[in-house]
Amino acid sequence: MMKANTGSSVNVNARTAGLEAAGRAGQGLDQINLAFIYASSDYELDEMLQGAREALPGVPFIGGTSYRGLILPEGLISGRRFVGVLALSDPDLTVGVAAAHNRENDDTVAVGREAALAAMKKAGRTDPPDYFHLASSASLEEDYLLGISEAIGRKPVFGASAADNEIMGDWRVFTDQELVGDGLAVAVFYSDRPLVNHFSSEPYRELEERCVIKKMIGQRKLVEVEGSKSLLQRIIERDNLDPDFLAAADLQMSVILDPVGVKDRLGRLTSLAFPMYLNPDGSIDFGSNLSEGDMAIHMQARLEDLPTAGGQELEVLKKKMNGQAAAYHLAMGFGRAMIMRADEIMGQAADLICRAADGVPFIMAFTLTECGFVADGANTCANLMLSYSGFPR
């Protein structure tokens, strides 16, 4: 039977914070298979990891930086310095963790494959795992997923790419052995009890306005659409913005409640894509992949619905698990946290999530791109999503 525990620290000293958070998470657990660790990008992360290793010697862990805080059973942990840990203990669970760096001119699909094969080796297995966790730097999540699938086949994914406190590229992912700025970490799980994932865009709703993506540069730079006003022109007119002085932060804040949605091949999931930056030529960089020919749907949410969605979607996951969860790993798109912080309602969201967890240990990170799956559908990466995963007892 799986058992779990959490710990946190806001100590300004990085090593002490890692030591305190990991030490608290390890209390009461006899054999720890894995620790999920999330922390502030403002720390000296190698020192934080050293403290965590001292508290949990020999324990594999995986994680990354989170946008300005975390949510744990004790509530919202925020500020410039924070560490949170979720430790799992299960005698019937086997886990392997490995990382891979993406260097200039690397085949990024091959980098994902390399990480997956190394994680299987760490687990002492050659057969494919039952499911896996992906922690990555931003911009190449889909390539990493493809490489992992080449190594292990089509297995369920949960996880996310890391975010930093200012969304300026200071995000990091890490394991117990490595700190990675550009690349990924993978944890493979062998268990007779399946992971349960709930990948949700709630409370966003589809509007009638939609357009066909006509031209892309690469997979994340939108150049031209047809069938409707361009996304950028709609944003500029609606919010009375000056296109000559539209900074990245202004664009992000303007579209958090009005992102783009793209349906999966089965029509069961609408993945959200978040405009990140406006380029001088008028093109827009997105936080997840798009393709020419995709139907881009105007999605919309009300600010007052964001706090309640976090708790309500955890209730959905609980129903899927019939109340048999030992722990939850939760990822929330950083944009939701950004706008809720600006409106000072983040605490309300945290309270509702803690209430829904109802005593089950959990950790929630605020991430850049979320990964999840829908039954009979492919693994997916998207922005502004809720990727909620439950580990059965």
Task: Provide, rounded to the nearest whole percent, the portion of the chain with pLDDT above 90.
Answer: 67
Sign of the Cα torsion 236, 239, 243, 249 reads negative
Distance CA 219, CA 141 (A): 12
Instruction: Write the pLDDT tens digit of every residue in 97-145.
Output: 999 999 876 799 999 999 999 999 999 999 999 999 999 998 789 999 9
pLDDT at 209: 82
Instruction: Write the pLDDT tens digit of every residue in 299-320.
Output: 999 999 999 999 999 999 999 9
pLDDT over threshold 60, residue 354:
yes
What residue segments make up the domains of the chain, in order of their start? 3-200+306-392, 205-300
**Greater model confidence, 362 or 265:** 362
Distance CA 282, CA 261 (A): 20
pLDDT at 243: 63
Helices (H), the chain: 14-26, 45-55, 108-122, 141-152, 231-239, 248-255, 306-320, 334-342, 346-357
DSSP string, 161-176: E---SSSSS---EEES
> Residue 254 to residues 249, 250, 260: CA-CA distances in angstroms?
8, 6, 12
Instruction: Write the pLDDT tens digit of every residue in 263-286.
Output: 876 667 788 988 887 777 778 888
pLDDT at 371: 93
Nearby residues of 354 by Cβ (< 8 Å), 6 or more positions away: 71, 73, 75
Distance CA 383, CA 160 (A): 10
Instruction: Write the pLDDT tens digit of every residue in 228-257.
Output: 556 666 666 666 666 665 555 567 777 888
Instruction: Write the pLDDT tens digit of every residue in 373-383.
Output: 876 666 788 89
Tokens read off for 230: 């361009």
pLDDT over threshold 90, residue 149:
yes
Distance CA 365, CA 211 (A): 32
pLDDT at 75: 96
Run of H or E including 157: strand 157-161
Distance CA 293, CA 216 (A): 10
**Greater model confidence, 298 or 174:** 174
Mean pLDDT of 46-53: 98
Q: At what angle do helices 108-122 and 141-152 cross, to 10 degrees?
A: 50
> What mean pLDDT, rounded, does the chain reach?
90
Q: State the Cα angle at 250 between 246 and 254, rounded to 5°.
A: 115
Nearby residues of 364 by Cβ (< 8 Å), 6 or more positions away: 70, 71, 72, 330, 331, 332, 353
